[in-house]
Structure 1
């Protein structure tokens, strides 16, 4: 089933015509209402009237996260503050927080996009949705909440944390859909097992997982342990929140971008040039319908690709591939580019390992070093030390062979790596200490 057939199945020609009309309107709005964009346009020697085709977007300036921080809190808003009905903000862990504002129409569009997402996942108004994304300034919890209500489903607004209580609610309330980060789903499964509860005996049938990169190997691990269908959702607070793109349960092969609201590009992160469909690069979004804080060519730093081929589900919207890493959290180890997701894929293909790992980067003299710590399951932990040491060498050789970088590998006991109820902290970089 498709939530908005008119928009989600538009022929490519009609979609591009809609996008162009909205892009022209967007340029007029930001040029006249946001001093930051007027200055950017003027510096680039371009006016809104110069945008005559979608291809002209390449002449428009980029927007970066630092621009939002530099204009904290309201400098990029395009409407009077009295028209803003809600504020969200990033955590600001790597600098000043980024603040986004929503008009009522923005919230309505967001709810529609999330309702589309739930239906793409296979949910209907008959489902009970256990929402374990965090509520508050983080966009995940409220975004999923209002989307589920727009769909007409029943929402259990659990938020994050209190893991054992969540397990009890999963058992008592009988939800059929769960929303959380994939790493937290793994933690929920572990906790349920400790409590003597088998996930496969619960009514759960769908997991909507996002807010952190995860691999197909982790998907297979979650599905095999829990018996659910695990689908990938994408979003970011600067652009809207969750529901910018969603994987369909029919194909589970790329996330459909809601192109009537978000115009995507893939660029070379080094020089900003556009890349061809199917090529890997940095994902860039232009928000075609946002009123509160519209963004022109926002650089997400997420690395992926775009697939315009038809999907078996019937949707005609472009699909973005699974996030392969970020251009700003790529590790460079002795000249080799390494992404945590690459390490994760290798680890999860290895029998006896759990999905819990950390990558610790240090510097010895002038040399960068990388240690991969990964938990083993109970069965492997009971094996002899010599066997564990042999497995460490095997994993180390695999990393060297497939990624071209030398890393030490340390197999650690179960439950020894700190758990997170939100985004898992995969990398600890000690080089600046």
Structure 2
């Protein structure tokens, strides 16, 4: 297999590096919304959108070009994206399942970085087992759906302007039947409440979202009533791929940091630690080749699950390794009691604590193994209630 990038890709790489260098030098820590608008003005949002229905103000490029941009963005340590839910998940879904009016209404705003989105899937009791969700959407006499229920682990809900969510629109429906995919505006005081979930790292990127008769217009139903499961599963299949390669670029930077610490502290002299460092490097290279091998392959139903299993466990082990490399210093963090600044976590400690969730969020390891067993290996399905 030839995994090399062509001259066009390398030209795009130089352009991306130059653009990121100039704009990050001007403002290395820009406001998240302002940064999204800057990306939109530069034409860097929606590179992977299918241009068959129009470009909506953005530019498009090849699959390898998308990899180039994603890798350079990660390599530049550019700000975490606020717009990736809209760009990477909703927009391709609207191109595949939405109608012309929906694409015209929502895609240009996403391409300009002006509207931010969150995903309303998981619920208490319906996380990895998404088909058991209970949120309901009932149309009123005006044809407006009134959505009532609770979503949880909703990333960036406190920043989002809109939420794409799954709700049960058919009374007494069971499992994945009777679900619909709705686009819901978040600015509905008294009808939508967002509560942050404080993680053990101290961050609060996730939220609970309570919906009490929140309104969703009938024309913002995607894919037809009752077809939400098909739309949602197609959307989830877009969570891997190019983004996985960008993620691995970030992982490589983290591993380099651990290697530097191992040399500084002398931990690299320990044979066990040295062996683990080598294993982490070799596994990361293997993940990259596997991601490149499956890039753009749509018929391999097990590829996303394999990728999730690989990177989730790898990143969790890296977090454990960095604590081992740091030794006793790993238990201490910056603090200044005299200045009234209590104990805090440094970036490595926060990363370690967050990594404990790597094998749970986005589909737990157990769920991924079940998918591989049933859909790829053809093993008998697990009994379900």
- Do these two structures clear the TM 0.5 threshold for a shared fold by scoring above it? no
TM-score by length of 2: 0.32
Structure in which a larger fraction of residues adopt helix: 2
TM-score by length of 1: 0.29
